[in-house]
Homo-oligomer: A and B are copies of this chain.
Amino acid sequence: MNRMRLFTPGPTSVPEEVLLEMARPVFHHRTQEYRALFANCNQMLQKVFQTANPVLTIAGSGTAAYEAAMINTIPAGGKVLALSNGKFAERWVTIAQRNKYDVTVLKAEYGCAISPSQVADALGKGTYDAVTLCHSETSTCTVLDLRAIAAHVRRTGAILIVDGITSVGAIPVKPDEWGVDILVTGSQKALMLPPGLSFLSLSEKARQKVQTVGQPNLYLSLSHYLKSLADNDVPWTPAVTLVRGLRISLSLILQEGLENVWKRTAALARATRAAAAAMGLKVFSSSPVDSVTGIRYPDGLDDKAFRGALREQFNIHLAAGQGTMQGKIFRISHMGYVDAFDTLGAISAMEIVMRRQGYKFNFGAGVAAAHQELADPAVEVAPSAKKT
């Protein structure tokens, strides 16, 4: 009888209002009705993206949007400085290499950030067409100082392409103010939708590149998306159901207030880190992001047994580590439709399972620490989705 609680860093829980909206009969997309819906979404997307620039919507995963960002703005053979400190950043390196760009990888160990000064040094040693990075590296639960990195990049001619898949709508990111040319996100994270849509904002500089960089792909041709967007339309058949859900989920975010969402997300992360510390557990990252927390397993706890028991006994879903981090860490999301008491419940369940599986700690300390953090009035901003 336990309600399913998804703490995976995508997909995240989808509010009931969004699910019900998506269950309404499908209508045709080449209509005034669709354009009005999409216009409404586009205005709200700009607010959530904190940008005055156009935000494009693609039917596809975040990988589709990030690949579109790269191939449409980096000329053939272009030089790319690719920051890499986790599995997702590595995917963007792979795309750059497959596309035969001249790629310089600036690498950090899993769980570590790449500092703004490291980026400044690298930029000083070459001229780049683009810089690629993950703002919030979901695999290592690590945040980069995007504001300071962007300040370095904007002094060069490079396009800054940012994977904001677990940062947009979760933690502060201000592309226009900071100088991010392209900001990418996906539907199934802080935007509280099922997977299937991805989004990217494009600065004036990025839009100019789109017009000059020829690339063969049609489905991911951003010049086609930009042209259609002028009429609040899309070049290819859109995923109408998900766009309908998007209207509701963006409304919920704006109703709560984007800054309140950021505060709530940060508070849940603080509470989780406090609980981990009180339980004698170590946070994996040396630069932890607020959208998802990675926690190292103590000796003797088995990933499959631990997450399996949480899932089977309590219907609480945590994420494993990826790649070489598998078995060494677990991850718990703070994005989207999740509140203080869901998080407190997850910590309670973690304590129960860890004790059963033989980990020695001060039972109750995690819950107590999280409870103290969550008693902060700032956290009492519950997601507006739950108020209705």
A interface residues, Cβ below 8 angstroms from B: 4, 6, 8, 10-11, 13-14, 19-20, 22-30, 58-64, 67, 71, 91, 94-95, 98-100, 186, 188, 194-196, 216-221, 236-242, 317, 319
**In the complex, A237→B29 CA distance in Å?**
24
Closest chain B residue to A63, Cβ basis: B236
With A59-B61, A100-B216 already in contact, the answer to whether A23 and B26 are too (CB < 8 A) is no
**In the complex, A99→B217 CA distance in Å?**
7
Number of copies: 2
Inside 8 A of A8's CB, which chain B residues have their CB?
Answer: 28
Closest chain B residue to A65, Cβ basis: B219
- Give which listed residue, B186, B217, B240, contacts A98 with CB less than 8 A: B217
* A219 with B60: CB separation less than 8 A: yes
Subset of 7 A-B contacts with CB under 8 Å: A11-B237, A14-B26, A30-B319, A61-B236, A64-B219, A98-B221, A219-B220
Of A27, A98, A99, A195, the most chain B CB neighbours within 10 A belong to A195
* B195 with A237: CB separation less than 8 A: yes
CB distance from A21 to the nearest CB of B (A): 9
* A26 with B13: CB separation less than 8 A: yes
Inside 8 A of A25's CB, which chain B residues have their CB?
Answer: 4, 6, 13-14, 19
Known: A11-B27, A59-B195. 20 other contacts (CB 8 A): A4-B25, A6-B25, A11-B237, A13-B25, A19-B22, A22-B22, A27-B317, A29-B195, A58-B60, A61-B219, A62-B237, A63-B237, A67-B218, A71-B217, A98-B216, A194-B239, A194-B242, A196-B196, A196-B239, A217-B220
Inside 8 A of A99's CB, which chain B residues have their CB?
Answer: 216
* A218 with B11: CB separation less than 8 A: no
CB distance from A24 to the nearest CB of B (A): 7
Of A24, A63, A95, the most chain B CB neighbours within 10 A belong to A63
Inside 8 A of A71's CB, which chain B residues have their CB?
Answer: 216-217
- Give which listed residue, B11, B64, B94, contacts A29 with CB less than 8 A: B11
* B23 with A6: CB separation less than 8 A: no
* A217 with B217: CB separation less than 8 A: yes
Closest chain B residue to A194, Cβ basis: B241
Closest chain B residue to A196, Cβ basis: B239
CB distance from A290 to the nearest CB of B (A): 21
* A242 with B196: CB separation less than 8 A: yes
Closest chain B residue to A4, Cβ basis: B25
Of A11, A29, A100, A319, the most chain B CB neighbours within 10 A belong to A11
**In the complex, A196→B99 CA distance in Å?**
26
Inside 8 A of A28's CB, which chain B residues have their CB?
Answer: 6, 8, 11, 317, 319
Closest chain B residue to A317, Cβ basis: B28
* A95 with B218: CB separation less than 8 A: yes
With A19-B23, A188-B26 already in contact, the answer to whether A63 and B219 are too (CB < 8 A) is yes
